Amino acid sequence: MSQAAHQAQHVLSGEEIIRCTGVNKWYGEFHVLKNIDLSVQKGERIVVCGPSGSGKSTMIRCLNRLEEHQKGTIVVDGIELTNNLKNIELVRREVGMVFQHFNLFPHLTVLENCTLAPIWVRKKPKAEAEDIAMRYLKRVRIAEQAHKYPGQLSGGQQQRVAIARSLCMSPKVMLFDEPTSALDPEMVKEVLDVMIGLAEDGMTMLCVTHEMGFAKSVADRVIFMDRGEIVEQDTPDSFFTNPKSDRTRLFLSQILNH
């Protein structure tokens, strides 16, 4: 931890954007999240990993209230997530989310996918929203497909559109839930490249991913979850070379040798 803080000092502002305190969640009887404490600073890049079913998705989905937590507090961008719908909508427009299965809107063109929320949520004029959308589509290198429908694109292209769609809302934080695990191997790199570019531009990111190369090269901090707990968090350097808990060691040996 001290190392992480040390490394972070010269990159990060020290301004906190997400704070989870004692967050617990149950699915019926099943205790999915146990006393999660997490603080994320502006500009920080965090990779979350852990075995299947450990609660990674659940945790990051709580951050924009796609899932509801039952105990503890989550404060995002100064707003506490409660049942207050207005607050939830306020948080959601500042937090972009990229899903494993892209979840593009199949009845809208790529461009319309990107302009929908800016027009309806941010109340931007259509022309301005389209300008912004084209800028981000260029950035994910897919501008020439702007007038196609999602169904006409490859998986990697769709995921890049999904990233652009989120960016069009100029979010303060981006959440990624296994953005590359539904992709064919040859398409993983094009998506990771976009994510690396984002990280370099200083976007605050939380990524659930099994791409350890990505974690090593861009993460400020790696969080390891198991059975609903945060077991360990550290800089990638010490996380991969010097894991402290047995569970982490076991997990690393499994994913690195498979």
Partner 1 sequence: MTDTVKHVGLPDERPPSNIVGPVAWLRNNLFNTWYNAILTVLVLLLLATAVPPFITWLFVTAHGFDATSQECRAGGGACWGFIGEKLRFILFGTFPYDEQWRPLLTIVIFIALLVGSCDRRFWKPWLGLVWAVGLTAVGILMWGGVFGLTPVENTLWGGLPLTLILSVIGLAVAFPAAILLALGRRSNMPAVKVLCVTYIELIRGVPLISLLFMASVMFPLFLPNGVSVDKLLRAQVAFIMFAAAYMAEAIRGGLQAIPKGQYEAADGLGLSYWQKMLKIILPQALAIAIPPLVNTFISFFKDTSLVIIIGLYDLLGAGKVALSDPSWRGFYRESYLFVGVIYWVFCFSMSKYSQKLERDLNRSHRR
Q: Which of 56, 95, 75 is nearest to 174 (CA)?
A: 95
Rg of the chain over CA atoms, in angstroms? 18
CB of residue 177 vs ligand ATP: minimum separation in angstroms? 7
CA atoms within 13 A on the CB side of 186: 1
CB of residue 208 vs partner 1: minimum separation in angstroms? 15
Q: Please give the Cα distance from 58 to 182 (Å, whole number).
A: 18
Q: Which does 58 bind (CB under 5 to 8 A by kind): Mg ion, ligand ATP, partner 1, none?
A: ligand ATP
CB of residue 143 vs Mg ion: minimum separation in angstroms? 31
3-class SS of residue 173: strand
CB of residue 96 vs partner 1: minimum separation in angstroms? 7
Q: Which does 27 bind (CB under 5 to 8 A by kind): partner 1, ligand ATP, Mg ion, none?
A: ligand ATP
Determine, following the binding rule CB under 5 A, whether residue 57 of this chain makes contact with Mg ion.
yes
Smaller CB separation from ligand ATP, 140 or 230: 230
3-class SS of residue 65: coil
Please report, as ranges, the residues that interact with partner 1 according to CB under 8 A.
64, 66, 89-90, 92-93, 95-97, 99, 101, 103-108, 116-117, 120-121, 149-152, 162, 165-166, 169
Smaller CB separation from partner 1, 4 or 117: 117
Smaller CB separation from partner 1, 55 or 236: 55
> Closest residue to Mg ion, Cβ-based?
57
Tokens linked to 45: 């890049």
Smaller CB separation from Mg ion, 12 or 60: 60
Non-local (6+) Cβ contacts of 242 within 8 A are: none
Q: Which string of b and e fits 28-56 if b means at least 16 CB within 10 Å?
A: eeeebbbebebebbbbbbbbbbbbeebbb
Give the interface with Mg ion as residue ranges (CB under 5 A): 57
